Structure formats: C-alpha cells, structure tokens
Amino acid sequence: MAGKFDGRVAIVTAGGSGIGAATARRFAQEGASVVIADLSGKRAEEVTTGITASGGKAVCIKMNAADPEGVQATIQLALDTYGRLDIMFNNAGLAEMAPLDETSLESWNHVLAVTLTSTFLGMKYCLPIMRKQGKGAIVNTASISGKGGDYGLSSYNAAKAGVINLTRSAAIENAKHNIRINCVCPGAINTRAAQILGKERADEFRRLQAVAHPLGRMGEPEEIANTVLFLASDDASFITGVEITVDGGVTAHTGLPDMLRLQK
C-alpha cells in the first residue's frame, strides 16, 4: 500500500527525541525519505537506525539548528542523498526558566537563537530549493506559549510568538511559489523535557499538567506528529499561514473556576 509521502524528502530538526523523533518515524512510515538532524548525533543515529531497520529510508546528521553552516549542511545532505527537498520541519526549541529581570542577556540570546533564529534559518535556506522545484511544505513548531504568557518563561514566550508570526509572514511571501508554511502549537507534551526533571518532580509535573488540560492528561509526541504530517500533506493543500493548536483544550478555557462545581 502506497504511503502519502512516497517519493518525497523531509528534513526533521531536533529529530533525535520527542516530537521530532515521532514525526520522523511517521514520515518514514508514510514513504518519505527522512533526514534527521539533532544536536545529539547519538540520538539522531538511534532514530535513523530504528527507521532503516523497519524498512524505511533515513540518514542523520549532528547539527546545531541555530548555526547557519549546520543548517546548510543538513539541506545539502538531503540533496546529495535523495536529490530533492519537499518538506522542512523546523522543530528545534529551548526554554530556560527565570523571572524576566533575572534573565541574563546570554540566556535570552540563547533561547531566541535555538527557538526562533533556527526557524528563520531553516526556512531561509530551504525556500530557494523549493521554489526551483515549484512546490514545498514547511511546518514550524511553535507553542501555546507563543499565544499566551507563562511565569518565568519570558524568553521562550517571546521566541515562540515570533515563530508564529514569522510563519505567517513567510507564508504570504511564498504562497505564489506554491510553498505552504504553517506551524503547530502544542500544549504540554510528554517528552524528555518532562523526564529530565527526575521521577518525583516529573510525576508532579505530569499531575499538574493533567489538571490544567481539560482532556485530563499531557499530550504524546505522536499526537503532534500526526498534525505535522497533516499540514505537510496534500490533505492540507489549501492551508497556509496558520497555527494549529494541539493542547488538549488548555487554550479553550478562560481560566475561571468551574461554577457548576461551586453550586453543588
């Protein structure tokens, strides 16, 4: 049975774990040839090995998504290995917690570089190739933290808000070239970011997130991957310049208390 992405080539940044790894696997399952780029070359290699062992096509590269030369090398690997580039998933991001007045300039610049500048670079260097091909799809990872504020995450909030509006600007500039550009805005997802807190703190983190999400749980990486695949596919052929929220209902809620419970 043919896959939705047979004959197409996709790059996934931060593809060594979490949302990136889940998306890379889904692309491969649907027939795409995948280039997996990650700051951890070991994790990128592990995901690549898993895909090829299952009969899929994938190569990997150790890459800093905020480094122009690294991004260019990743795109060149796609071209040298597979001869084209159809899909770019700019997924890299980073958060560092601190009150705004205690956030160092170094930390601010680091978060913006990995989260926002990486998205700019990914689009900047893949767009000329897609224009020559006459078609392409780009998906950027934003966040519900780009649509609202969080305590202690001012740099991350600013960077993800930038990803959303950068997506819009790039979309309207490139629609005439038949290149669609969208972003996905996840809520809290059960990835390494939760796991590195340690078991006790991670369990408490998950409990608090379950309370915050009307669906009663955190999201899974595969649930974001499914949305990314939709946006990159021909099923979304008339969708560009949008952010799709996948957050278990968090942003649907005003934040006010449940008045029905108070009446009981």
C-alpha distances (whole Å) from 96 to each of 34, 65, 86, 150, 164 are: 30, 17, 33, 12, 19
SS3 of residue 2 by DSSP: coil
Query: Do residues 119 and 68 touch, judged by C-beta distance below 8 A?
Result: no
What torsion, rounded to 10 degrees, do the Cα atoms 53, 57, 63, 68 define?
180
Query: Do residues 190 and 101 touch, judged by C-beta distance below 8 A?
Result: no
Report the alpha-carbon distance of residue 16 to residue 38 in Å, rounded. Answer: 6
Report the alpha-carbon distance of residue 191 to residue 205 in Å, rounded. Answer: 12
From the list 82, 125, 151, 156, the catalytic residue is: 156
Close Cβ partners of 90 (under 8 Å, ≥ 6 residues apart): 13, 65, 118, 119, 122, 123, 138, 139, 140, 141
Chain center to CA of 253: 24
Tokens in use for 176?
Answer: 């005439």
Say which DSSP state 114 is in.
I
For residue 61, what are the β-bridge partners?
A: 37
Q: Tell me which H or E stretch contains 157.
A: helix 154-174
Annotated active-site residue 156? The verdict is yes
The catalytic site residues sit at 156
